[in-house]
Structure 1
Amino acid sequence: MAGGSAIRGSRVGAGPMGEAERGATAPRFFVSYYCANGHETRPSFSIESNAQAPEHWDCTRCGYPGGQDAENPPPLVRNEPYKTHLAYVKERRSEEDGEALLDEALAALRARRGRR
Structure 2
Amino acid sequence: MADRALRGVGLGSKTFEDEQGVEFAERQSLAFDCPKGHHFTVTFSVEADLPTEWECKKCGLMSTRSDGVVGEEKVEKPVRTHWDMLRERRSIPELEDILAEQLEKLRDSDRIY
- After TM superposition, the score normalised by the length of structure 1 is 0.47
Larger strand share, 1 or 2: 2
- After TM superposition, the score normalised by the length of structure 2 is 0.48
